[in-house]
Structure 1
Amino acid sequence: MASKLCLQLFLLLAFIMPHLISARHFHNHKLSRLLFPEHLIGSSKNDSFVEGIHKVKAYLQRYGYLSNENDNNLSTDAFDDDLESAIKSYQKFSNLKVSGVLDRKTLEHMYKFRCGVKDTFVSAAQEHKNKNTNIEIGGSHYTFYFNNVSWPAERKHLSYGFIHNYPPQFIDPLVRAFQTWEDNTKFSFFLASRVQTADILVSFERGEHGDIDPFDGPGGTLAHSLGAIDGRVHFDADEQWEGEPSEERIDLESVALHELGHTLGLGHSSDPSAVMFAYMEPDTYKTTLTSDDIEGIRSLYGA
């Protein structure tokens, strides 16, 4: 009797286990998602015109890879030399295969959550003329913010304030992010006694909100900073924010640490492990500065 029961259990498990494993793999599998139509996969300069390619141009222009000097060209579906060069620059900075072709990995990368600050600040053509200030320095991957704007030497004790009904549950993650930068730089940060006098103003915003970079609703751009001196840091209020990381939400402290790096004068790093890397996955968090982040800030202000 016992042996028969054991045999039945064995057969039951043999039947169930493959389905359990399959279900677990399905649950953990992240579907490849595209911001752009599937038919764009594999597009290249050889195709001349590709329907919908203007959306890729808009993305690359928004994040600094295409100049807006010729708006008429940006609105067309022409796959020209400028677009190919911009795609190559994007692929290089994103650690993708540099081909100038819109392969699946490149288009999937464009779908990822990211910071709204540009990766590069001049056109691809200017980059080829070595006029791009956003270059890798030595063996490092960090860059500096637009026009290398940084705080003057005498401004090392910076105040911050929260405006536009900033949600109180997200104050602590911001304070921790400030503390992390304070622990690794010559800066110190304190809450302003009057918000009108704060050096750094932090808020949640939606859509058009008074600067040149409107937010795009859920997904896409998570936040942006207007850099040193200006001091404004904006989070997209339409995102699913979480004080602690989870599979479905974005960790606010991680994004805050990144945006404060911009506020201190850093640009984006091409090192995926760095806090200053432009992209943020929903199920990951970065609350510790890497050597690349620290080298970058010390190259601006000294050790």
Structure 2
Amino acid sequence: MRILVAITLLIGAAASQAGSGIAALRHWAPHSAIPVWIDRQNLPPQGDQLVEKAMRTWATASNGAFTMRRTFLATDAGIKIYFNGAGGNYGETRPHISAAGLIDAAEVNIAADAPIEVDPLTRDIIVYLTALHELGHALGLEHTRNFDDIMYLFRQPGDGPRYFGNYRKLLKTADDIGSAAATGLSPYDVQTLRELYR
């Protein structure tokens, strides 16, 4: 039961309701090099590598509109990622909007306690897809209503297990997570990102 409830609550709501996928045109400044800091406290196995894969996935999808680079100093970070309880959700993001209406910082929380009942590959899938979804919010994307999108608003019973299962079918090994054949992004996720950052 715990796994079903936990996975159903897969990804926290950074936007208050499902929308078009574009968060009121709020985004980072054009051609930003966004520094990302990953807190090593409570870091699950492979957690930092999975977050870095999610960072590369979004940067590649942006087609050069921005870059994301890891920093090891929290004071230098535009995006700070913490692994913790995430308030009962698998993730939550709080972007900060500047006076100019641009995102200039974001705090991402990812649940460190993936259910122990799942195997290591499923745990890695949960961490990667949660990081991918939450970084999407940190970049300015809202939830969508299309189940194929990483930015889908996960709220129906069974959404999480079905989504993870669909993604797992793309993988042969854990090394395939975040690969070109298994980015986790839908064509609409990519289109929305590029519209936001054009």
TM-score (norm 2): 0.69
What letter is aligned with 1:267? E
Which residue in the other structure is 1:226 paired with?
94
Structure 1 residues 151 and 195: CA distance shift in structure 2, 3 A: same
Structure ranking higher on relative contact order (CA contacts 8 Å, 6+ apart): 2
* Distance in 1 (alpha carbons) for counterparts of 2:197 and 2:90: 28
The answer to whether the Cα contact below 8 Å between 1:160 and 1:202 also exists between their aligned partners in 2 is: yes
Cα pair 1:203 1:234 within 8 Å, conserved? yes
RMSD over equivalenced CA pairs, Å: 3.0
The 1:249–1:261 alpha-carbon spacing in structure 2 relative to 1, beyond 3 Å, is: closer
Q: Please say if 1:196 is aligned against 2:75.
A: yes
As a proportion of its length, which structure holds more strand? 2
The equivalent residue for 1:113 is: 9
Please give the residue correspondences for 1:1-303 in structure 2 after superposition, counting only pairs within 5 Å.
Answer: 112-120=8-16, 135-136=19-20, 143-145=21-23, 147-153=24-30, 156-163=32-39, 165-167=41-43, 169-185=46-62, 186-206=65-85, 215-216=87-88, 221-227=89-95, 228-240=103-115, 245-246=121-122, 251-279=126-154, 281-282=160-161, 283-284=164-165, 285=167, 287-302=183-198
Q: In percent, how many aligned pairs have the same letter?
A: 21
AA of the residue aligned to 2:185:
L
The separation in 2 between residues aligned to 1:194 and 1:179, in whole angstroms, is 19
2: CA distance, partners of 1:198 / 1:243: 32
Tell me, what secondary structure is at the counterpart of 2:90? strand
**May I ask how many residue pairs the two structures share in their alignment?**
163
- Structure 1 distance, partners of 2:91, 2:84, is 9
Per-residue CA distance 1:275-295 (angstroms, 9 max, x = gap): 111225234337331111011
Deviation at 1:254, TM superposition (A): 1.0
Runs ≥4 residues deviating over 6 A:
none
Partners of 1:199 and 1:249 in 2: CA distance: 25
Q: CA deviation at 1:114?
A: 3.1
The one-letter code of the counterpart of 1:144 is I
Larger CA Rg, structure 1 vs 2: 1
- The alpha-carbon deviation at position 245 of structure 1 amounts to 3.8
Superimposed CA distance per residue, residues 15-47 of structure 1 (whole angstroms, 9 cap, x where no aligned partner)? xxxxxxxxxxxxxxx9xx7x7xxxxxxxxxxxx
Q: For the structure 1 residues 281 and 199, does the alpha-carbon distance in structure 2 shift closer, same or farther, using more than 3 Å as the test?
A: same
In structure 2, list runs of 5 or more residues that go unmatched. 96-102, 168-181
TM-score (norm 1): 0.47
Q: Look up the equivalent residue of 1:269 and give its one-letter code.
A: T
Superposed CA deviations along residues 219-244 of structure 1, whole A, max 9, x for unmatched, are xx210111342311101234327795
1:189 CA displacement? 1.4
The gaps in structure 1 that reach 5 residues or longer are 1-29, 36-110, 122-133, 137-142, 207-213
